[in-house]
Amino acid sequence: MADNCKPVTVFPCVFVCEIQVSQQDLDDTFQPPFKSCVLDGNVASVMCSYNKVNGKPTCADKDLLEGVIRGDWKLNGYIVSDCDSVDVLYTQQHYTKTPEEAAAITIKSGLDLNCGNFLAQHTVAAVQAGELSEEDVDRAITNNFIMLMRLGFFDGDPRELAFGSLGPKDVCTSSNRELARETARQGIVLLKNNGALPLSAKSIKSMAVIGPNANASFTMIGNYEGTPCKYTTPLQGLGASVNTVYQPGCTNVGCSGNSLQLSTAVAAAASADVTVLVVGADQSIERESLDRTSLLLPGQQTQLVSAVANASRGPVILVVMSGGPFDISFAKASDKISAILWVGYPGEAGGAALADIIFGSHNPSGRLPVTWYPASYADTVKMTDMRMRPDTSTGYPGRTYRFYTGDTVFAFGDGLSYTKMSHQLVSAPPSYVSMQLAEDHPCRAEECASVEAASDHCEDLAFDVKLRVRNAGEVAGAHSVLLFSSPPSAHNAPAKHLLGFEKVSLAPGEAGTVAFRVDVCRDLSVVDELGGRKVALGGHTLHVGDLKHTVELRV
């Protein structure tokens, strides 16, 4: 961990802006992923961040650390600060007057461990000054020592224990390398295909592999990375099956005007049977402490793609390697660009996995995990504006697939396959579900828009959704079934919400069943304006693709 601790850069947003988050957005959007990690994933550690939320640094927020994380979610483990965030709340945010006060307030709020050396320097003085009790320190130490025990620190000589003898030889095994390749294959998303993909390697005499990420190695493993034993770059992956001609097109990913090498790239595309363009980003464009300010491809990359596509003799496959999304509407609309793939940062075997997909030995099944907005979105929406819900009075468009209803370049969940999958409902959920309210429940006497998603009326209130998925195409493939629900409009509810997903692998002609258990109070509830969970009464529409079914919730 210590090796990954970077010096703190004071970037204006985190330390100066007051991030305001409503209770509704906090409980409905920002906390659920963390809650799921603690409750469903049983993580052993939670890290509090550098920034303030609603005026309070998170490492000094007792309601959050002790109340929510350790209290409501029952964290079994320790809470650690982001590196130097205790220092930052004193020296940069001036949240406390003295360093001792910073040590005291964070430990008393529930912090157990500090990544950095601030607590080591100031905790003793805080206790001596009477700002912190030894009992509070004991609690933190106890949580840390329990973790050391769970990790086997007191179980004897590490060389004699199972994990003590692990080394590089255990990392670079063929099965681990195959796992890296399979992971990349499963993550790659096919966003456009006019039929050009998969390519037949046998019929290709020459392939132009062009772009600043065409021979990417380190870029593929992203940020906060380990050290792989071997990389397979896109050029190397594709070159294992066909003859390639490589042109970077730009000397770097930033691709400013004077790094553009258009004529050699255009010439390569003009004489090849097929062109694969690998563009996108790297850590010079997006990383911790470096946010993008535009959704367009960096520098002159759009010009490179257009010029190469115009000049190509054969089909053009555009590959975007990046962490974040891009507005590539021009490529989506272009007849010259036959197919588009998003590979994320695909890891050490990314180039091999890309070749597996381009040449069809693997059928893509990845889905987009985020909305790809048009470039104008970044100009309209301040990235420090945390509101999820649209505000029609100011033209604020809202955020994410759950609330944003404007145009997208590609939508959350998009992802094509080389085969055709069809869905069919096998056992339809009921058309209505009745809740038995207690005798004295106010909603028995008067009409309510919603009832609380807790207490007796929630018990055993669940139903099944079963779907039959059929592979109606010619090739085997995996398919993710995404089940969404659209709740009634009470409480400014999201337009839709992903209830769950299941992936099935099917041979050509084969059919399989996918089942979801929908718990009414857990899965169909929304968060109200004050942060309470409510189940809206009325029609909840469940949908998978074009398939829709409405369940009426009554009391």
217 touching ligand NAG, by CB under 6 A: yes
Among positions 305-344, residues that touch ligand NAG (CB under 6 A) are 306-307, 310
CA distance 179 to 159: 27
Nearer to ligand NAG, 238 or 524 (CB): 238
215 touching ligand NAG, by CB under 6 A: yes
Nearer to ligand NAG, 241 or 541 (CB): 241
Question: Do residues 321 and 309 touch, judged by C-beta distance below 8 A?
Answer: no
Nearer to ligand NAG, 102 or 235 (CB): 235
Nearer to ligand NAG, 300 or 365 (CB): 300
CA distance 83 to 106: 14
Nearer to ligand NAG, 310 or 376 (CB): 310
- Closest CB 336 distance from ligand NAG, rounded Å: 7
Select the residue interacting with ligand NAG from 15, 118, 246, 401 (CB under 6 A): 246
**82 is known as an active-site residue:** yes
**Cβ burial 322-352 (10 Å sphere, 16+ → b, else e):** bbebbbbbebeebebbbbbbbbbbbbbbbbb
- Closest CB 334 distance from ligand NAG, rounded Å: 9
Nearer to ligand NAG, 133 or 303 (CB): 303
- Closest CB 307 distance from ligand NAG, rounded Å: 4
Nearer to ligand NAG, 274 or 308 (CB): 308
Residues in binding contact with ligand NAG, number by CB under 6 A: 9
Residue 500: closest CA among 519, 527, 521? 519
Among positions 451-490, residues that touch ligand NAG (CB under 6 A) are none
- Closest CB 199 distance from ligand NAG, rounded Å: 21
Burial class (CB in 10 A: 0-12, 13-18, 19+), 35: middle
Phi, psi of 231 (to 5 degrees): -105, 145
Cα 398 to Cα 26, 372, 427, 491: the distances in Å are 15, 14, 35, 15
Structure tokens at 41: 């994933």
CA distance 375 to 1: 36
Structure tokens at 400: 């994410």
**DSSP element (H, E) containing 536:** strand 533-536
- Closest CB 217 distance from ligand NAG, rounded Å: 4
Nearer to ligand NAG, 247 or 371 (CB): 247
- Closest CB 280 distance from ligand NAG, rounded Å: 16
Please identify which residue in the block is written with the tokens 């079963």: 466
Sheet holding 421-427, edge to edge: 421-427, 462-471, 511-519
Whether omega for the bond prior to residue 198 falls within 30 degrees of 0, making it cis, is yes
252 touching ligand NAG, by CB under 6 A: no
Q: Which residues contact 188 (CB under 8 A, 6 or more apart)?
A: 341, 342, 343, 344, 346, 353, 354, 357, 364, 366
Select the residue interacting with ligand NAG from 233, 301, 471, 485 (CB under 6 A): 233
Catalytic residue from among 25, 28, 82, 528: 82
**DSSP element (H, E) containing 483:** strand 477-486
Among positions 292-311, residues that touch ligand NAG (CB under 6 A) are 303, 306-307, 310
**Would you call 270 helix, strand, or coil by DSSP?**
helix
Long-range contacts of 135-138 (CB under 8 A, 24+ apart): 136/107, 136/108, 137/107
- Closest CB 216 distance from ligand NAG, rounded Å: 8
Nearer to ligand NAG, 176 or 217 (CB): 217
**Would you call 146 helix, strand, or coil by DSSP?**
helix
- Closest CB 303 distance from ligand NAG, rounded Å: 6
- Closest CB 272 distance from ligand NAG, rounded Å: 15
First to last CA, the chain: 52
Residues that bind ligand NAG (CB under 6 A): 215, 217, 233, 235, 246, 303, 306-307, 310
- Report, as residue numbers or ranges, the catalytic residues: 82
